[in-house]
Structure 1
Amino acid sequence: MYFAAFILKNLTRRPVRTALTVLGLAVAVGSMIALLAVSYNVERSVESAFDVRRVDLVVMQKGKPFGLDSEFSERLVAATRAMPEVERVSEGLVGNANVYRDSGTVDNDIILVQGWKPDNFGYEDMELIEGRLLQPGDQHKVIIGRILAGNLRDKGNVGHNVGQKLRFVGDPDNPYEIVGIFKSRVVFEEGGAVVPFDDGQTLHTKPGKVTGFSVRVKKGGPDSTAEVEAVRQQIEALRDAKDPTVRLVANPPDKYVEQVSQLQLIRAITWLVSAIAFAVGTITMMNTMAMSVLERTHEIGILRAVGWPRFRVIRMILGEAAMIALGATLMGVVIAFVGMQSLTLSPKVNGFIEPDLSLVVILKGAAITLLIGLIGGAYPAYRAARLLPTEALRHD
């Protein structure tokens, strides 16, 4: 306890330097934690949605890394549905769209609009806030996520309540009546809208096409790995007689999430920012601790003269670095939380990110920051431990 208090006192003797070091490191750490949280939250929400919907395979067009570029004939969906090993298939159209304001101008905020059939898996875990879901026979109807409803409400003059109408740029002559507002496990869905499947094909100008589909496999026992794999191979072997160049790729949900190009981009940016934060933090920490050791050479000499072993001196310097890292972690978490909450105030991004900071992300950030502290303090600690008492005491 006395040793920890001694270390803390050393840091508070130079409060301005310590505070600036903590603040500089916290900004870098906060950026890293925020990006880690965005990536983690999106992956977690998508995976949990697939788990709840009991999806075994997600099928897209091969060679279309952005997902929204995927486009193939409904004939391949029908061929999959006809397989005796398949229990259910749920197809959909996915694309971006803009809406018209009441003034007739186009709202620049992009909305993710999906076209679903009434038996889509997505309805099974969707929670209605108001109104109803889409039903068989619906035309030019739309249900909107709660985030999108809030964004439209904030604009003041765009339909956002049940009974009001939206006009999409892709289908301007047919206003879509809002029949429901929903809550979903997936933030992309909450920030977007769902229209009837046929309307989705019209809206995204993809007649007779789908973006992808999900598959439930008939299972004969608790271990269905072989059964799912057999269906996966059959789906990937399908060919469209009218367009034989199209190839499908079927992946289990976890592998699909790993390969989504948007998530891969987020991961790449996250680790790039983490690497930059690590390098900047390490250099900052090394500079601070080296200056501290240089200024306290005489003091360290006295400590060595009264019997402090080298290892105790190393522990002191590394302890100071670890305390700075701890302070930077706490402040970085606050910066990340405030930054993510601020981002969700913007309708351009709040339908694509969740502002939550999970314990897993915080612990990852803390571990990386502690590593920064230990590496940044390693050389100054070694240098301090190498000082001979006689040389340190003669230092001016």
Structure 2
Amino acid sequence: MRFSNFILKNVRRRPLRSILTVIAVALGVGAVVSLVGIATGFKQSFMNLYGEVGIDLLVIKGRVGRQLESGIPESMNDRILAIPGVVSAIPGVGDVISFPDDDLYMVVVNGWVPESEVFDHLTLLDGRFITKQDHRKLNLGTVLANNLDKKVGDTLEVYDGELFEIVGIFDSFSVLESGAMVMPMHELQPLIGREEQVLGISVITEDGSDAALVKRIREDIEALEKGIVARPAREHIDGLTEIQLASSMAWLTSAIALVIGGVGVMNTMIMSVQERTREIGVLRAIGWRRSRVVKMILAEAMVLGIVGAAVGIGGAIALVRLLTKLPAVSGLIEGDIPLYVVGYGVLLALLVGLVGGLFPALIASRMTPTAALRQE
């Protein structure tokens, strides 16, 4: 019998125990792939968004824990535009609101300057985009419009007693925008107590690939007023407290699940070694070396890990895609999990199998033929 077939036969000999072990590993791997995949996808959505618009620098208030709690003078926009090398400066404000009756609790409200280039990457599906002359008008992303069951011409109570007419439905490559709404910046500012203030200013330079130019503009912007920082998009996103917290919690939760999976593999393999003491003794008696016994036990553990990885990854992909169908989160998460996160899951499953099988393998390898046969 080939060694590989011998390994598979051993795994199948105790199907219930093997299935329970696979489930334990699958839960750990599934937690990694789903939770880390969602956190990573959320971060990547921001990166793609800024990259598509061509934003080179983001001007914000420094040393602020949450971006929505920051604020810089709106007048900074004209001062930034006056800096040589700056092509465009786009101010903006934002807020997060809820629609409990529709099971929506994290709806982003964007306050943008109408008729500016920030709308260029959006695809208008129905109606029109908001204009500078509009009053109490807004645009809805297609995902949010579907979740709210709204169409062009309908009204929406964004804040208590504040009704807005929907004049356009748009789509975006980013689910974060498709699940959001856009209203004129000057109308959102008083509603959130930000008169003459903006949360940030997006800066487009003459040549974003010119590191020296971007660095010089960055220094000029930060010299305009104390406490103002200008960061490249990636640096800004990496520093967001919300993203850091989501990523940390995802890995922490996954680590706990992986430990449980590892303990499950170790328990299964220890029980297997104890039940197969005579068998291992016979193998040693017919000439199997200790290293071969170790390879056998580790291989069995790795098989359980690989099968658990396959089940866990499949379940994670199905779970994330199911979540995108739920109104509460459909406008916040992508349906696709990055391929490298799937790779993390496979590697961690192999590691769980290796670690979980190492101790039982060492126990098995130390058995002498006479002692093993005498125990039976």
Match in the other structure for 1:136:
132
Shift of 1:98: 4.2
Alignment map for 1:1-396 (pairs within 5 Å): 2-98=2-98, 109-153=105-149, 160-169=150-159, 172-173=161-162, 175-219=163-207, 223-239=209-225, 247-396=227-376
Identify which range, 8-17 or 127-136, moves more after superposition. 127-136
Match in the other structure for 1:243:
none
Cα deviations by residue, 1:328-379 (Å, 9 ceiling, x for unpaired): 1111112212332333343222222123223211111111111111011111
Q: Helix, strand or coil for the counterpart of 1:286? A: helix
Q: Do the aligned partners of 2:24 and 2:260 also contact (CA within 8 Å) in 1?
A: no
**CA pair 188-125 structure 1, distance change in 2 beyond 3 A:** same
Shift of 1:386: 1.6
Q: Do the aligned partners of 2:147 and 2:327 also contact (CA within 8 Å) in 1?
A: yes
1:196 counterpart letter in structure 2:
P
Q: Do the aligned partners of 1:91 and 1:120 also contact (CA within 8 Å) in 2?
A: no
Q: Do the aligned partners of 2:115 and 2:132 also contact (CA within 8 Å) in 1?
A: no
Aligned pair count reads 376
Q: Do the aligned partners of 2:139 and 2:169 also contact (CA within 8 Å) in 1?
A: yes
Q: Helix, strand or coil for the counterpart of 2:55? A: coil
Distance 2:100 2:289 in 1: 74
2:187 counterpart letter in structure 1:
D
Distance 2:122 2:37 in 1: 24
Q: Do the aligned partners of 2:127 and 2:167 also contact (CA within 8 Å) in 1?
A: yes
TM-score (norm. length: structure 2): 0.94
Q: Do the aligned partners of 1:99 and 1:166 also contact (CA within 8 Å) in 2?
A: no
Shift of 1:185: 2.8
1:392 counterpart letter in structure 2:
A
Distance 1:127 1:317 in 2: 57
Cα deviations by residue, 1:13-32 (Å, 9 ceiling, x for unpaired): 00000001111221222122
2:4 counterpart letter in structure 1:
A
**CA pair 275-34 structure 1, distance change in 2 beyond 3 A:** same
Distance 1:112 1:49 in 2: 15
Q: Do the aligned partners of 2:97 and 2:107 also contact (CA within 8 Å) in 1?
A: yes
Distance 1:108 1:130 in 2: 23
CA RMSD of aligned residues (A): 2.0
Distance 1:258 1:271 in 2: 16
Unaligned runs of 5+ in 1: 154-159, 240-245
Q: Do the aligned partners of 2:115 and 2:131 also contact (CA within 8 Å) in 1?
A: no
Percent identity, aligned pairs only, is 37
1:211 counterpart letter in structure 2:
L
Distance 1:354 1:331 in 2: 21
**CA pair 315-259 structure 1, distance change in 2 beyond 3 A:** same
1:200 counterpart letter in structure 2:
L
Q: Helix, strand or coil for the counterpart of 2:96? A: strand
1:248 counterpart letter in structure 2:
I
**CA pair 119-237 structure 1, distance change in 2 beyond 3 A:** farther
TM-score (norm. length: structure 1): 0.90
Q: Helix, strand or coil for the counterpart of 2:201? A: strand
Distance 1:272 1:98 in 2: 28
Q: Helix, strand or coil for the counterpart of 2:159? A: coil
Distance 2:82 2:209 in 1: 23
Q: Do the aligned partners of 2:45 and 2:176 also contact (CA within 8 Å) in 1?
A: no
Q: Do the aligned partners of 1:100 and 1:166 also contact (CA within 8 Å) in 2?
A: no
2:291 counterpart letter in structure 1:
F
1:5 counterpart letter in structure 2:
N
Distance 1:100 1:349 in 2: 13
2:213 counterpart letter in structure 1:
E
Distance 1:366 1:100 in 2: 39
Distance 1:298 1:342 in 2: 48
Shift of 1:96: 1.8
1:166 counterpart letter in structure 2:
L
